[in-house]
A and B are shown apart, each in its own frame.
Chain A
Amino acid sequence: MEVSIKNIRKEFDRFAALNDVSLNIASGELIALLGPSGSGKTTLLRLIAGLDFPTAGKIYFGDEDASHRSVQDRNVGFVFQHYALFRHMTVAENIGFGLKVRSGASRPPKSEIRRRVSELLEMVQLSGLEDRYPNQLSGGQRQRVALARAMAIEPRILLLDEPFGALDAKVRKELRRWLREFHDRTGHTTVFVTHDQEEALELADRVVVMSGGKIEQVGSADDVYDRPGSPFVFSFIGESSHLPITLRGGQILFQGQSIGVVSESGEGAGELFFRPEDVQLVDAADALYGKVTACRRLAGTRIAEIDIANEGNAPYHVEIEVPLYEPVALGSDLRFRPTRWKVFPG
């Protein structure tokens, strides 16, 4: 099922939690809504589900305008952050609930419900636990029961709110891989919300980076990491440093001096962004330079923290990767140029 979101605005008490958000989700896609808390990602998920209604804008399921459909009619599978399992029902009763509450002719007979439940339990690898109560399950098992329950209604789209948020690190990794496989097997259009970029980049076909109620960028993991579309995306995803610069005649000037990096376009003030691994130590006058204030080992490389002088103000703090063979002494000067970078006009 394709889902398209058109110019959605959502206000809570005059505060715009979402502002003119549009997004197209292709059928069968696995999409991550990624952003810091307060970015509006959960609000967007709830609007798609019909748990909240937009102040303005429309939501289409395929060609059908679903904006005014109630959550009961939308037929979406929603997995809540804390699973929201019915604790007085067994695992089997939880999973069968959505079928049992259907009205009249659309309600499958008991035997059919039982068959579907055991099928789903098998799918989420929990066969044999049908008579357990939720509080007799581990966190990861509850997660999968919640997923099976959402899948039981044969949803048109599967929505997951922070699906791994309440789990410990190890289970989280296992379940992440398992969810990817599950998605590949069932082929459901899936949207999940996360604040964990590693999770989003690893799992999703496309990542929707959100901030302050707006979509900052939509793209594959490579897109958002290698070609960040905005200063926010650059600093939110991965490690990065940034410096105020001026563009003049194809040259990038930092504090009036060329840093030996050529920019193809633009004039005037801007902000230079680069990642720690995208720098090169140089032995030239036209480069960025500063004092090494700290140095730490990080897996196969070393990160140097550098203070770049800023007349009269607190120094600019940047972090760069330094090859292990380069001698770096605390307090010494380092000169470097970014090899990959991006300038955002500012």
Chain B
Amino acid sequence: MVEDIHMTNAIVGEPPEFRNPASESPAAKAALILAALVFLTFFLFLPLVSVFVEAFRKGAGEYLAALAEPDAVSAIKLTLLVAAISVPLNLVFGLAAAWAIAKFEFKGKAFLITLIDLPFSISPVISGLVYVLLFGSHSLLGPWLKSYGIEILFAVPGIVLATVFVTFPFVARELIPLMEDQGTGDEEAALSLGASGWQTFWYITLPNIKWGLLYGVLLCNARAMGEFGAVSVVSGHIRGLTNTMPLHVEILYNEYNFVAAFAVASLLALLALVTLALKTVLELRFGAGNTGGKH
């Protein structure tokens, strides 16, 4: 309470000699806020705003036409398909890994967590490269799979694999701290009351983690739909076939078709904004801390 009062005092401009010793002078405050706002405007707000401004530069008609164009539609479809496969896969993995890590004490746990974090610190280009080396025409696996008619690289499976690699940690990273905080008391109580393992998970654990899980899935989805570097390496850039939305944005941009590039980009930006809005709502409603992992 006392803190809040100092805040309001500072805003109405208390004489300097009455300043709270644990706060800056109003001038310093204003300077810091201004510095932060200028910085954020140049690096955050203007880039975001410009996506929409550029997309609508030639009016709503051009915007909609760019989105209705067949290559754009097939890119959107492919992006949805890739996300629809890779997000559930990482969701299942995230739940399993978080269960094992948060509910049990075992040797090598810290190492396992480090391994899960690995994709965060690897260049997306390298994430794509490893699959090229594994499945490419010069590799052991590639020609062998091809002899059975299975194409991985420059095809949808490769794009899915690269996306899974890059978005691998998101759900797990969101759930592990949350489930560690909640401990094992609830589950032990349920088990002692005769619930089976699945019942315990379904009725006890899942309701406890649903918001963190939801945010993890949202973030995983946003990244899956937006992944560029890794997908670019494995896709082969075949128009209408292996182009996801971000790759399509690149092609349009490089063809100087800026309105179309920004139109497709605006959909992805919208997805990012919805993700952030949901995150904020979840935090406000269900307490901070559940949704603040490092990515």
CA separation between A42 and B21, bound complex, in Å? 16
Q: Closest A-chain residue to B6, C-beta based?
A: A52
Whether A50 lies near B2 (C-beta < 8 A) is no
User: For residue A70, which residues in chain B have a CB less than 8 angstroms away from its CB?
Assistant: 17, 19, 21
B246-278 at interface with A (beta carbon < 8 Å): none
Distance (whole angstroms) from the CB of A342 to the closest CB of chain B: 36
User: For residue B18, which residues in chain A have a CB less than 8 angstroms away from its CB?
Assistant: 53
Whether B1 lies near A12 (C-beta < 8 A) is yes
Whether B21 lies near A72 (C-beta < 8 A) is yes
Q: Is B36 an interface residue (CB 8 A)?
A: no
CA separation between A51 and B20, bound complex, in Å? 7
0 or 1 for each of A41-61: is its CB under 8 Å from B? (1 = yes)? 000000000111100000000
B1-31 at interface with A (beta carbon < 8 Å): 1-2, 5, 17-21
CA separation between A12 and B17, bound complex, in Å? 18
Q: Is A68 an interface residue (CB 8 A)?
A: yes
Q: Is A63 an interface residue (CB 8 A)?
A: no
Distance (whole angstroms) from the CB of A198 to the closest CB of chain B: 28
Distance (whole angstroms) from the CB of A78 to the closest CB of chain B: 11
Whether B2 lies near A12 (C-beta < 8 A) is yes
Q: Closest B-chain residue to A67, C-beta based?
A: B17
Whether A68 lies near B17 (C-beta < 8 A) is yes
Interface size class, chain B: under 10
CA separation between A53 and B15, bound complex, in Å? 11
Whether A51 lies near B17 (C-beta < 8 A) is no
0 or 1 for each of A13-53: is its CB under 8 Å from B? (1 = yes)? 10000000000000000000000000000000000001111
Q: Is A71 an interface residue (CB 8 A)?
A: yes
CA separation between A68 and B14, bound complex, in Å? 13
Whether A51 lies near B5 (C-beta < 8 A) is no
How many chain A residues have a CB neighbour from B under 8 Å? 11
Distance (whole angstroms) from the CB of A86 to the closest CB of chain B: 14
User: For residue B2, which residues in chain A have a CB less than 8 angstroms away from its CB?
Assistant: 12, 52
CA separation between A53 and B17, bound complex, in Å? 9
0 or 1 for each of B135-148: is its CB under 8 Å from A? (1 = yes)? 00000000000000
Whether A12 lies near B21 (C-beta < 8 A) is no
Q: Closest B-chain residue to A55, C-beta based?
A: B18
Q: Closest A-chain residue to B19, C-beta based?
A: A70
Distance (whole angstroms) from the CB of A299 to the closest CB of chain B: 41
CA separation between A156 and B145, bound complex, in Å? 85
CA separation between A13 and B19, bound complex, in Å? 16
Cβ-neighbour of A13 out of B5, B17, B20, B21 (below 8 A): B5
Distance (whole angstroms) from the CB of B10 to the closest CB of chain A: 13
User: For residue B17, which residues in chain A have a CB less than 8 angstroms away from its CB?
Assistant: 53, 68-70
Q: Closest B-chain residue to A72, C-beta based?
A: B21
User: For residue B5, which residues in chain A have a CB less than 8 angstroms away from its CB?
Assistant: 12-13
0 or 1 for each of B18-48: is its CB under 8 Å from A? (1 = yes)? 1111000000000000000000000000000
Distance (whole angstroms) from the CB of A316 to the closest CB of chain B: 37
Distance (whole angstroms) from the CB of A153 to the closest CB of chain B: 15
0 or 1 for each of A193-214: is its CB under 8 Å from B? (1 = yes)? 0000000000000000000000
CA separation between A329 and B260, bound complex, in Å? 96
Distance (whole angstroms) from the CB of B256 to the closest CB of chain A: 54
CA separation between A13 and B4, bound complex, in Å? 10
Q: Closest B-chain residue to A17, C-beta based?
A: B2
User: For residue B1, which residues in chain A have a CB less than 8 angstroms away from its CB?
Assistant: 12-13
Distance (whole angstroms) from the CB of A188 to the closest CB of chain B: 22
CA separation between A68 and B5, bound complex, in Å? 19
Name the residue in B1, B2, B20 with the highest tally of chain A Cβ atoms < 10 Å from its Cβ.
B2
CA separation between A326 and B19, bound complex, in Å? 64
Q: Closest B-chain residue to A49, C-beta based?
A: B21
A295-318 at interface with B (beta carbon < 8 Å): none
CA separation between A50 and B1, bound complex, in Å? 18
CA separation between A69 and B17, bound complex, in Å? 7
CA separation between A71 and B2, bound complex, in Å? 17
| Interfacial residues, chain A to chain B (CB-CB below 8 A) | 12-13, 50-53, 68-72
Q: For the complex of A and B, list the 3 residue pairs with the smallest distance between their C-beta atoms, beginning with the closest.
A: A53-B18, A71-B21, A68-B17
| Interfacial residues, chain B to chain A (CB-CB below 8 A) | 1-2, 5, 17-21
4 additional contacts (CB under 8 A) given A52-B2, A70-B19, A72-B21 = A50-B21, A52-B20, A68-B17, A70-B17
Question: Can you list 17 A-B contacts with CB-CB less than 8 angstroms, sorted by A residue number?
Answer: A12-B1, A12-B2, A12-B5, A13-B1, A13-B5, A50-B21, A51-B20, A51-B21, A52-B2, A52-B20, A53-B17, A53-B18, A68-B17, A69-B17, A70-B17, A70-B19, A72-B21
